[in-house]
Amino acid sequence: MSTIVIAEAGVNHNGDLQKAFQLVDAASEAGADIVKFQIFKAENLATTSAEKANYQKKTSNSSESQFSMLKKLELDNESYFKLQEYCHQKEIDFLLSAFDFDSLKFLLDELRLKILKIPSGDITNAPLILSHAVSGRDIILSTGMSNLNEIETALSVISYGYLNQTINLKPSIEDFKKAYNSSEGKDLLEEKVILLHCTTEYPAPLKDINLDAMNTIKDHFKLKVGYSDHSDGILVPIAAAALGAKIIEKHITLNKDDIGPDHRASLEPDQFKRMISSIRKVELLKGDGIKKPRESESSNIMIARKSIFAKKIIKAGEIFSEENIALKRPSKGLDPIMYWEVLGQEATRDYEVDEAIE
């Protein structure tokens, strides 16, 4: 299975549909498998007094509220229909992250997406997670800012939703745990869920990337894993692919210097293309994992390995000893593992110097 590369366009369109189309073009031309946007209504996502994160203050108007910033980044529902159709034309898959119930309902009922992406900020938002899960769709769950217990809680809600396909008005924590611990719940999670390790800072400092945590998540939950990257540059996603990430998600922008919350932690199109090219090379070098001589090295076996040769002229009836036999290239006679078997035996015929012992 090739590593799936998601070009996270997110809100890097800055509320401009034409820019969103250009982001689809850039993702497609770079070779991404999926281009992903975000869908939300500001009034459902943040209070009017909610502050921006520090990184958002640095990359946009520091005096405005988070609500005001989000309002400028909205696209209307009709825009998402147009983007979905444009992605179809460009032969790149279209994905959305829904940040509120109304947006999720539109995504499910109108756009009818088959795969859902839950962002890191909602990993503790059990009601919204449950609404994703009862749809029965496959889920990609980002795990930034979380620990193993919080991930397990989110998975328990997902397994409950998959098993019930309806929203109980008052499901209990015990209901969620029971679903998660059931064999049916485990099977559904294994079949339908991918967990993305993530460090939620923009850009994320290298000291906090903690890539080994990706495989900690894999080993702990026995689920497929990937990596959602917010670091600067292309090193980290390439390393994540080498470590076995099934999905790499990375922000794409038309201009890193643009005003907006995510541009600085994004890649411009040429750099995004280089990242994908490097990931494909990583896939090639990882191979199939079977340890055996590869095609390119097979012809070197005889040249590089050794066998048992006569060190000096040996006459029939003479005893093989450390003084008259040696281990030399090429590998055209007895294997060196037979060295001790040969020692002390009687030569059955004459041997010239550097003649392979039979």
Give the model confidence (pLDDT) of 116-147 as tens digits. 999 999 999 999 999 999 999 999 999 999 99
**Chain center to CA of 334:** 47
Q: Which residue has the higher pLDDT, 52 or 331?
A: 331
* 305 and 178 belong to one structural domain: no
pLDDT in tens, 277-289: 999 999 999 999 9
**Residue 168: pLDDT over 80:** no
- Is 193 in the same domain as 130? yes
pLDDT in tens, 142-162: 999 999 999 999 999 999 999
Domain range for 324 is: 295-342
Are 140 and 197 in contact, with CB atoms under 8 Å apart?
no
In a domain, 44, yes or no: yes
Asked whether residue 224 falls in the same domain as residue 328, the answer is: no
Q: 85 and 34, same structural domain?
A: yes
Query: In terms of domains, do 220 and 299 share one?
Result: no
Query: Where among 220, 254, 286 does a domain terminate?
Result: 286
- What band does 85 get if pLDDT is binned at 50, 70 and 90? very high
Q: Of 130, 77, 65, which Cα lies nearest the Cα of 102?
A: 77
Q: Which pLDDT score is estimated for 58?
A: 81
On average, the pLDDT of the chain sits at 96
Instruction: Answer yes or no: is pLDDT of 62 > 80.
Output: no
Do 239 and 317 sit in the same domain of this protein?
no
What lies within 8 Å, CB to CB, of 142 at 6+ separation is 117, 118, 119, 120, 123, 196, 198, 228, 249
Does residue 182 share a domain with residue 56? yes
CA 88, 1, 227, 252 torsion: positive or negative?
A: negative
pLDDT category at 63 given cuts 50, 70, 90 is confident
Within this chain, do residues 100 and 229 fall inside the same structural domain, yes or no?
A: yes
Asked whether residue 106 carries a pLDDT value surpassing 90, the answer given is: yes
Domains held by the chain: number: 2
For residue 167, pLDDT beyond 80: no
Same domain, 323 and 221: no
pLDDT at residue 178, rounded to an integer: 97
In 3D space, the residue among 140, 142, 139, 138 whose CA is nearest the CA of residue 120 turns out to be 142
Q: What is the pTM of this model?
A: 0.90
The whole-number pLDDT of residue 60 equals 79
For residue 1, is pLDDT > 70? no
Q: Are residues 150 and 204 in the same domain?
A: yes
**Judgement on whether residues 247 and 178 belong to the same structural domain of the protein:** yes
Task: Give the burial string for 59-89 (b: 16+ CB within 10 Å, else e).
Answer: bbeeeebbbbbbbebbbeeebbeebbebbee
